[in-house]
Structure 1
Amino acid sequence: MKISTSELLDELKNRTEQHLRFAEMLSVKPEDDLNFRISEDSWSALECLEHLNRYGNFYIPEIKRNINSAGKSSRTYFKPGILGNYFAKSMLPKEKLNTMKTLKQMNPMYSHLDKTVVHTFIKQQEKLLELLEEAQHVDLEKTKTGISISKLIKLRLGDTFRFVIYHNARHMAQIQKILNL
């Protein structure tokens, strides 16, 4: 699979803008609604967002650092890596969301959360949009980023963006289910 770099970045920007608008809509909902959980062992909307914020706390600085140290590129196509493509595709929301185990430090279950979680998520989406803009001039294949689960594995920047943004999409779908939207 080979995709135009500008098409990929446009798709990711569009998704991120949708996530941003959705979060802005959530910011006006009552906190009780955002803390509601369907069952005792499921996450609330705020827990979903806090989970994404924790990943954003790792990936946003990681992406920024690697964009800043990358050289300029004139490559017009992006070819996903095997591992990066697998990770990204596994995050895309499906009709029936399959549950996945999360790392302990990324699991916000039973945290006491308020609307600051939503505002943090909004700020992270704004930052992601800035990074996607900056990435237009960077080689999305040659520029590599670390991943949150291992310092030994590096993914192509394009795959990292896809993973993070598809992961966000997955949990946006989960929040819609929780809040019955």
Structure 2
Amino acid sequence: MLSTILLRQLTDQVQELHATVDTQLRPLDTARLNYKTSTASWSILECLEHLNRYSRYYNEELAKALPSQEQSCNPHEVGFTWLGRKSYDIVRPDNGKQHKTINHMNPAGSQLGPEVLHEFLRHQQHLLALLTAATGTNLNRKAVRVEFFRLLKLRVGEALQFVVAHEQRHVQQALRVVQAAQHQLSAPVLVV
């Protein structure tokens, strides 16, 4: 895909994620934000805290990878390495397979409040700025260290696609929890 088209698509997707969380999740009460469909599942806040943990790492890595001064790289085809394709395929929102997360990225059992939502929205604003900064940059340059094994690097374009797809996946998960919570918390209770 052409770099300019990719950056535009990713920008649109991040703006949509921001709007979804701001309008559909932020207004929810604490009970709904912490609702779990089972003891093994994540609440809405745990889904977003998981993404915050990734954003703390990848937003910083992307900021380091992007040049501080505007570049003049022409639009170019953005490709995938084997590692980039594998990473992206695992987190794609339409990949229904569940994957175990690494321990330090797993927020299960954390005591979380609405500040998680605000942090997520700040990370989205930062990511939008990074996408703007990526304009004119060679997105095929290997410059973003992989979180779980920092000797490996992703290309800038791969890392951006990975981050956005991962966020889409878990925001969709959070929205499914919203639906389950609305059904469960608003169901009539039969008192005998």
Q: TM-score range by the shorter chain?
A: over 0.9
C-alpha separation in 2, matches of 1:177 and 1:109: 17
Q: Which moved more, 1:113-122 or 1:74-83?
A: 74-83
SS in 2 for 1:23: helix
- RMSD, matched Cα: 1.6
Deviation at 1:152, TM superposition (A): 1.0
Aligned residue for 1:178? 177
Q: TM-score w.r.t. structure 1 length?
A: 0.93
| Matched residues, number | 178
- Report if the CA contact (8 A) 2:146-2:153 is conserved: yes
1:120 aligns with 2:119: yes
- CA separation in 1, counterparts of 2:62 and 2:35? 33
Code of the residue aligned with 2:135 in structure 1: it is Q
Are the equivalent residues in 2 in contact too, given 1:71–1:139 (CA < 8 A)? no
TM-score (norm: length of structure 2): 0.88
Report the AA paired with residue 13 of structure 2.
Answer: R
Structure 1 spans left out of the alignment, 5+ residues: none
8 A contact 2:2–2:75 mirrored in 1 = no
SS of structure 1 residue aligned to 2:109: coil
TM-superposed deviation, 1:76: 2.3
CA contact (8 A) 1:78 1:140 kept: yes
Which 4+ residue blocks in structure 1 deviate beyond 2 angstroms? Answer: 68-72
Amino acid in structure 1 at the alignment position of 2:11:
K
Give the corresponding residue for 1:15. 13
What is aligned with 1:93?
93
Unaligned runs of 5+ in 2: 181-192
CA contact (8 A) 2:142 2:153 kept: no
Give 1:94 deviation, angstroms: 2.1
SS of 1:83's partner is helix
Question: What does residue 189 of structure 2 align with?
Answer: none
- 1:126 is matched by which residue type in structure 2? Q
1:143 deviation in Å? 4.5
Which has the larger displacement, 82-91 or 53-62? 82-91
CA contact (8 A) 1:46 1:118 kept: yes
